[in-house]
Structure 1
Amino acid sequence: MSTADDIALVKRQEAELVLRAFDEAVAFDLGSAIRARALAENLSLVVDVRTWDRQLFFAATPGTAADNSEWVRRKVNTVRRFQRASYRMVLERGEAPFSAQSGADPADFVIAGGGFPIRVEGAGIIGAVTVSGLPGRKDHGVVVDALCDHLGRDRATYALPEPTE
């Protein structure tokens, strides 16, 4: 699959993995599902689920560090500002830090996978589900899988293929 194909699939994920409603219970369900998967698969992950004005779920599994929370903060900022998955930014721009001209200070924004917009029917993008701990493409996949499960969608339909080296 080419980078253009990956971008098209991430755009499709963003457009189709839309929640009918979002509240504290949905945030808890999504975050808990990601945490449970991390524990079951022995993945070191920090997971954060939030609206733009408040954090609704946070968990860290063994093997994470304070730095993972910092990566989450910067990924959330990127999703909020650019209104797209942070991994789409990687695919579109590469992983080089934002330039000074962009106004997106690398201390507060990062181009790395793992931040995904929470889109609600009739409301648009209202927050983000974000993980940190794995390589960016895998961080992104963990969030997409959780949204697929929550929405009753087939994971395979939305999964990015393993990259060929």
Structure 2
Amino acid sequence: MANDADIALVKRQEQELVLSQFDEAVAYALGSSIRARALAEGLGLVVDIRTWDRQMFFAATAGTSADNAEWVRRKINSVRRFQRASYRLVLERGEGPFLPQSGVDPADYVIAGGGFPLRVAGAGIIGCLTISGLPGRSDHGVAVDALCDHLGRDRAAFALLPE
């Protein structure tokens, strides 16, 4: 199981990487920066940015498939239901399907890194930034890096150490 330091850091990421506002321009800026990084580094990934009621940015780079969009959908559902980063669920529960007693359908929810709650100051969690295509810890890291860059925060101060 994960160490307490990783869980504490992800909680800190969730609490401190807060947007002052969120609209189509912010979604586009975040999504475009992630897509540009994926192209520059040759990363096959899907990025989805949305409020709970509508998708505001979607991009897929070479090397992805329809499966990645399906993983994104399930990660979004998990972030929305549990109000936390999907990688924190991995750290707290371990990777794999939800247990039957959790009351969630594994066809619609997944414990896998890459879904990060979008929190707006004064409004709380309003949506999700989701990445799929890399190992879960790396998917999570891409989302955190993009938020750090957008907010002018130091990536290194929020980065999980490599496993």
For the criterion TM > 0.5, the same-fold answer is yes
Quote how far apart the aligned CAs of 1:96 are: 2.1
Aligned equivalent of 1:54: 54
Quote how far apart the aligned CAs of 1:97 are: 0.5
Tell me the C-alpha RMSD between the 2 structures. 0.6
* CA deviation profile, 1:1-46 (whole Å, cap 9, x unmatched): x610000000000000000000000000001110000000000000
Aligned equivalent of 1:128: 128
Aligned equivalent of 1:39: 39
Structure 2 unmatched ranges of 5 or more: none
Structure 1 residue ranges (4+ consecutive) displaced by more than 3 angstroms after TM superposition = none
**TM-score, normalised on structure 1?**
0.97
| Structure 1 SS opposite 2:12 | helix
**TM-score, normalised on structure 2?**
0.98
Aligned equivalent of 2:13: 13
Structure 1 unmatched ranges of 5 or more: none
Q: Distance in 1 between matches of 2:99 and 2:86?
A: 16
Q: Distance in 2 between matches of 1:91 and 1:3?
A: 8
Q: Identical aligned pairs, as a percentage?
A: 77
Quote how far apart the aligned CAs of 1:78 are: 0.3
Q: Distance in 2 between matches of 1:151 and 1:3?
A: 27
Aligned equivalent of 2:86: 86
* CA deviation profile, 1:56-113 (whole Å, cap 9, x unmatched): 0000000100000000000000000000000000000001211222111000000000
One-letter code aligned to 1:125: I
One-letter code aligned to 1:20: S
- May I ask how many residue pairs the two structures share in their alignment? 162
